[in-house]
């Protein structure tokens, strides 16, 4: 199914691009530390930008982390189950992820719309607009939800075809 490969490929690309945000966050943090402790001149803006950079990173990298299977998992049951049992447990997890993702995506969209329409500003001295981090929340939850659907389809495939490779479905 080429659509599943396209979705996974897109999420890998987004994940690799978003991972570069770590470097921007490091630069801002280092600048703040040097300004504060080296010159005794802390900035007004670094704390807010650091929160936005790392917050956006953590919500946008979720689908990529799911693809790499790097989310925290309790493998007690998975290690003792056979391929079908693991696929069934994975499917159960993905169904909860999809439910959570659909709700968060809907709410994230509504949060973004409100922030955009009412020009919502944060309470910092610089009064940053709130729509960028809320847009990141919406996009990140959408990406992980769609990737969760792909992973659920792969789990179903594995359940019915336990001796095949999941790449056969994608």
Could you tell me the residue range of the domain that residue 139 belongs to? 2-168
Q: What is the SS3 assignment for the chain?
A: CHHHHHHHHHHHHHHHHHCCHHHHHHHHHHHHHHHHHHHCCCCCCHHHHHHHHHHHHHHHCHHHHHHCCCCCCCCHHHHHCCHHHHHHHHHHHHHHHHHHHHHHHHHHHHHHHHHHHCCCECCCCCCCECHHHHHHHHHHHHHHHHHHHHHHHHHHHHHHCCCCCHHHCC
pTM above 0.95, yes or no: no
**What is the model's pLDDT at position 166?**
60
**What is the model's pLDDT at position 125?**
80
* Residue 168 confidence (pLDDT) above 80: no
Specify the number of domains making up the chain. 1
What integer is the mean pLDDT of 129-135? 95
What confidence category does residue 1 fall into, taking pLDDT thresholds of 50, 70 and 90?
low
């Amino acid at each position: 199914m080429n659509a599943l490969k396209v979705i996974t490929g897109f999420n890998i690309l987004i994940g690799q691009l978003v991972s570069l945000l770590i470097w921007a966050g490091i630069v801002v943090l280092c600048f703040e530390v040097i300004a504060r402790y080296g010159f005794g001149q802390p900035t007004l803006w670094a704390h807010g930008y650091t929160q936005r950079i790392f917050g956006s990173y953590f919500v946008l990298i979720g689908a990529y982390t799911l693809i790499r299977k790097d989310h925290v998992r309790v493998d007690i049951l998975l290690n003792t189950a056979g391929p079908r049992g693991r696929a069934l447990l994975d499917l159960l997890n993905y169904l909860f992820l999809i439910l959570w993702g659909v709700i968060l995506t809907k709410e994230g969209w509504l949060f973004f719309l409100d922030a955009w329409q009412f020009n919502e500003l944060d309470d910092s001295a610089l009064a940053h607009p709130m729509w960028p981090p809320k847009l990141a929340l919406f996009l990140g939850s959408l990406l992980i939800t769609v990737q969760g659907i792909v992973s659920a389809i792969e789990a179903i495939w594995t359940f019915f075809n336990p001796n095949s490779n999941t790449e056969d479905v994608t």
